[in-house]
């Protein structure tokens, strides 16, 4: 794919797709502006070269409705505090009024457009909508890594309606790091997967079985694998309709010679709200109890595998880490990954939150800005948004 550095930008108008889907509180204050900051290298580069920049993003899920609580205005205000140039704001992302503002925008200035998802055509990948988005733009630059797994109009269809389409620095950096996991990773390669659902992670596990030496499973998803082996998992969260697939993945891992680790002990309690928990190391999980974290023996095993690895990919918590009695497993994995000298890539809101909670975020090679996008990249080795940029070059 083309890089933003390949574009001749002087006096050109650029439609810059970013992921400004920031968390807001009830009063619409931005709780964390990391996603805005992540786009600044590309935005600064475009402005330094005299481009006129139309910045577009989605925010939340307004589902095609114009809902004021999903307006990007607070984001535009925050952006204006972060860069020296004035930041304009358009009340829509398409239409005559917006185009008038775009045409009038002076070189090296920014116009933030209103939420793309105020139009249902965005998520429908509608070609006419995509064409309208870039009617006044020469180039398209995608720096919205967190949205690249969505074939939406501003990510996919849009590339057909510009002279050139390129990746911004954030997208390039994410893809470079993830390629080091999926293409010829330095061995041993350990993948750590957790979270509630196996169903979300089946494609990624399937691909990792072909690449990884060790797959470490934690979180509720482990219990679907145990149920697939006919073990009594008590009240643990199990996706019953996925047990056949889980059994098939276990067989595939065995055939491929991959070490597929499931917890060897479990922190169990009556519910995730309980404040007392106990550790058990064999099945059945007692009736009325559910497994809510990996136990200390599992932590020891996983820590050793992590210490030994040269490449690490981690997505998903090892337990209900939001509650203190069930956070130890996730905390321990965060510390182990941070303590490793391997290439480490961590994605997913929960795993990233655990790193910040432990204060070890700076010890990770790469924290992905897209949990879903990074998982899908590891599963499919491309994404609709990346594919669209590559197709444009053909």
The catalytic residue among 197, 235, 310, 357 is 197
Token look-up 């509630």 returns 196
Question: With respect to ligand AMP, which residue has the nearer C-beta, 53 or 318?
Answer: 318
Closer Cβ to ligand AMP, 98 or 337, answer by number: 337
User: b/e for 278-295, b at 16 or more Cβ within 10 A?
Assistant: eebeeeebeeebbbbbbb
Contact (Cβ atoms closer than 8 angstroms) between residue 3 and residue 166: yes
Q: How far is the CB of 242 from ligand AMP (least distance, A)?
A: 13
From the list 146, 219, 316, 372, the catalytic residue is 372
- Is 35 among the residues known to form the active site? yes
Residue 197 annotated to the active site: yes
Residue, CB closest to ligand AMP = 195
Measured CA to CA in angstroms, residue 301 lies from 21, 253, 257, 329, 341 at distances of 37, 19, 18, 11, 18
Distances (CA, A) of 355 to 68, 317, 337, 338: 33, 11, 9, 8
Based on CB atoms, which residue is closest to ligand AMP, 71 or 351? Answer: 351
Of 285, 263, 3, nearest in space to 277 by CA: 285
> What tokens appear for 188 in the block?
């041993």
In the complex with ligand AMP, the residue whose CB is nearer, 348 or 385, is: 348
Distance between CA atoms of 240 and 224, rounded to whole angstroms? 7
Active site residue 17: no
Closest approach of ligand AMP to the CB of residue 329, in Å: 9
Strand partners, 190: 214, 312
Neighbour-count burial for 154-167, b at 16+ CB within 10 Å, e otherwise: bbbbbbebbebbbb
Q: Are 289 and 271 in contact (CB under 8 A)?
A: no
* Min CB(372)–ligand AMP separation in Å: 10
Shortest gap between Cβ of 310 and ligand AMP (angstroms)? Answer: 25
- Catalytic annotation present for 206: no
The residues of the shown chain that bind ligand AMP, judged by CB under 6 A, are 195-197, 200, 219-220, 237, 291-292, 316-317, 319-320, 322, 348, 350
CB of 389 to ligand AMP, least distance (A): 28
Find the catalytic residue in 95, 288, 349, 359.
349
Of these residues, 12, 17, 35, 78, which one is catalytic?
Answer: 35
Residue with the two structure tokens 């709780």: 31
133 versus 285: smaller Cβ distance to ligand AMP = 285
Shortest Cβ 254–ligand AMP spacing (Å) = 24
Tell me the C-alpha distance between 262 and 277, whole Å.
20
Q: Which residues, 6+ apart, have CB-to-CB distance to 74 below 8 Å?
A: 24, 28, 29, 30
- Residue 102 or 350 having the CB closest to ligand AMP: 350
Mind telling me the catalytic residues?
A: 35, 197, 349, 372
């Amino acid at each position: 794919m083309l890089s933003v550095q390949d574009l001749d930008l002087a006096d050109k108008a650029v439609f810059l797709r970013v992921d400004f889907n920031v968390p807001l509180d009830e009063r619409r204050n931005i709780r964390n502006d990391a996603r805005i900051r992540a786009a600044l290298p590309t935005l600064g580069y475009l402005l330094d070269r005299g481009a006129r920049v139309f910045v577009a993003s989605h925010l939340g899920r307004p589902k095609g409705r114009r809902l004021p609580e999903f307006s990007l205005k607070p984001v535009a205000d925050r952006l204006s505090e972060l860069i020296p140039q004035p930041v304009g704001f358009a009340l829509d992302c398409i239409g005559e009024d917006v185009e008038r503002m775009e045409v009038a925008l002076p070189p090296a200035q920014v116009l933030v457009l209103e939420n793309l998802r105020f139009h249902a055509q965005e998520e429908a990948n509608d070609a006419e909508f995509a064409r309208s988005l870039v009617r006044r733009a020469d180039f398209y630059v995608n720096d919205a890594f967190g949205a690249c797994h969505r074939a939406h109009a501003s990510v996919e269809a849009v590339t057909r309606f510009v002279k050139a389409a390129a990746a911004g620095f954030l997208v390039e950096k994410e893809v470079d790091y993830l390629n080091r996991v999926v293409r010829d990773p330095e061995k041993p390669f350990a993948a750590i997967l957790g979270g509630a659902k196996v169903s979300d992670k089946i494609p990624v596990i399937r691909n990792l079985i072909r690449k990884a030496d060790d797959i470490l499973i934690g979180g509720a998803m482990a219990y679907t694998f145990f149920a697939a082996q006919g073990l009594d998992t008590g009240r643990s969260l199990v996706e019953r309709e996925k047990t056949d697939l889980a059994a098939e993945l276990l067989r595939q891992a065995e055939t491929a010679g991959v070490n597929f680790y499931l917890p060897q002990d479990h922190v169990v309690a009556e519910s995730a709200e309980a404040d007392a928990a106990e550790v058990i190391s064999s099945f059945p999980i007692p009736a009325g109890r559910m497994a809510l974290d990996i136990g200390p023996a599992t932590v020891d095993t996983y820590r050793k595998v992590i210490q030994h690895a040269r490449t690490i990919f981690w997505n998903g918590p090892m337990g209900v880490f939001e509650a203190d009695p069930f956070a130890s497993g996730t905390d321990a994995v965060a510390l182990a990954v941070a303590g490793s000298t391997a290439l480490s890539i961590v994605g997913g809101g929960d795993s990233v939150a655990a790193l910040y909670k432990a204060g070890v975020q700076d010890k990770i090679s790469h924290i992905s800005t897209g949990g879903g996008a990074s998982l899908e990249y590891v599963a499919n080795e491309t994404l609709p948004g990346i594919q669209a940029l590559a197709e444009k070059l053909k």
